Amino acid sequence: MKLVVHNEMCSGCRACEVVCALRNLGEVNPKKAALRITGQFPRPGRYSVTVCDQCGICAEVCPVQAISFTDGHYRIDEELCTGCGLCVEECPQGVMRVHRDRSAPIKCVLCGDCIRYCPRNAITDADEEVAAHKAVTAPPARS
């Protein structure tokens, strides 16, 4: 899965943030989401969605190798994580978060709920879009 953002579609409802925190941490708390919605004020009604692109920089800079690539995404091993925050500081997207009641940073695990629950399709899966395009543009099968 590869997350793709369509900022022009975002209404700022933050449903993606809520469902992310609920799915991954069991809490309805957008401050614990692994993506960010930012208002582009003073331009009313304009928002930016920032998601993890799974670049792996977080894993590269982790001094205790607590972040590893598993099942197509980077995951934090909370048992190994020391909470130093270096991965959060070095995240080029700025989407890894530290929350005061968590010992390890919050990071996207590509669960896909942000895609499923976005009412305006502001976040999509590039892999599904490519597959759908291929299915539509494929020549008909010969009999």
CATH number, domain at 122?
3.30.70
pLDDT of residue 47: 96
pLDDT of residue 12: 95
Which strand (E) or helix (H) includes residue 33? Answer: none
**Alpha-carbon radius of gyration of the chain:** 17
Residue 63 belongs to some domain of the structure: no
pLDDT of residue 43: 77
Q: How far apart are alpha carbons 41 and 14 in whole angstroms? A: 16
CB 95 within 8 A of CB 33: no
pLDDT of residue 44: 81
- Number of domains composing the chain: 1
Q: How far apart are alpha carbons 114 and 6 in whole angstroms? A: 13
* Residue whose entry in the numeric block shows the structure tokens 């708390």: 29
Q: pTM value?
A: 0.85
Residue 71 belongs to some domain of the structure: no
pLDDT tens, the chain, 143 aa long: 999 999 999 999 999 999 999 999 999 999 999 999 999 988 788 999 999 999 999 999 999 999 999 999 999 999 999 999 999 999 999 999 999 999 999 999 999 999 999 999 999 999 886 556 565 565 666 65
Residue 4 belongs to some domain of the structure: yes
Residue 99 belongs to some domain of the structure: no
Residue 83 belongs to some domain of the structure: no
Residue 124 belongs to some domain of the structure: yes
Q: How far apart are alpha carbons 32 and 102 in whole angstroms? A: 10
pLDDT of residue 84: 97
Domain with 11 in it: 1-51+108-143
Residue 143 belongs to some domain of the structure: yes
pLDDT of residue 128: 83
pLDDT of residue 129: 67
pLDDT of residue 132: 62
Q: How far apart are alpha carbons 18 and 23 in whole angstroms? A: 9
Residue 133 belongs to some domain of the structure: yes
